[in-house]
Amino acid sequence: MKKIFFFTFLFVLATLVACRKDSSKEPSSGNGGGDKPQPEWTKSDNFILVQLAMASNTLGCTVSDIAAFEEDGWMVSSNLIYLHLEKTIENVDVVMNCYLNGDTVFHTTCSMSSLVPGTLLANLSYAKAAVETLTSQFVMTTSEVCDFRLMSYKEISEDKNKHVTSFDEALALIDKEDYSYTIFWTDYASTNYEELSDGIWFGSMSGLNLGILKSPGNDCIVSIDITSKQYQ
């Protein structure tokens, strides 16, 4: 079980309140933003990838940067161990939690779930297209290069995970409803599920953990964990 350990965040509460009073600047990222060429996948209009880009661009942000997201319609609050952002986009509830090392975001989670049936997340093929666009080598908006390492998948009615280490095989498998899929890209060469999961969570490696859950008759639930060890 993952253990969450963080520093005192009382100053975050005070800082966040203060930052909300002055949100004249647009949300910016400490990872270089427009100063660096953006990876090809960020140019996609796929809803999942658009939200991934948003989550990725929080890496390196300060507390005041995150507070400024309110200007773009995000609800921003503080939960002692992370900064919480939420926004409804095209009938999808998008929730981000930004974890900080001091005053800088190093790890962000993002979840997408439909508020009504039949949204953009209705088809598993849409999620699969997002994975295909990322390709086997994923370049983060921080310019860090991460390779596909592992996909874990299982039938929802079972409790047994299966793993594949071939990107092409992973793409071929993402076509079964009533299955869950967890896909890893990292800058660390490992195919150990727990090592990859923990490394991304705690920031010892840079990478992306993309989860897809699809049950018959329901839209997909998509989850993202993205981390840059540059800020840990």
Instruction: Return per-residue pLDDT of the chain as tens, 232 residues.
Output: 343 333 333 233 333 333 333 333 334 445 544 467 899 999 999 999 999 999 999 999 999 999 999 999 999 999 878 999 999 999 999 999 999 999 999 999 999 999 999 999 999 999 999 999 999 999 999 999 999 999 999 999 988 999 999 999 999 999 999 999 999 999 999 999 999 999 999 999 999 999 999 988 899 999 999 999 999 9
Q: Is the Cα torsion angle 184, 186, 190, 196 positive or negative in sign?
A: negative
Q: Is the dihedral of CA 69, 30, 19, 95 positive or negative?
A: positive
8 A C-beta contact, residue 108 and residue 230: no
Is the torsion defined by CA of 111, 48, 66, 227 positive or negative? positive
Phi, psi for 44 (deg, rounded to 5): -75, 150
- Across the strands, what pairs with 154? 180
Q: Which residues pair with 101 in a beta bridge?
A: 104
- Measured CA to CA, the distance from residue 231 to residue 52 in angstroms comes to 18
What pTM was computed for the model? 0.86
Q: What angle do CA 116, 74, 105 make, to 5 degrees?
A: 120
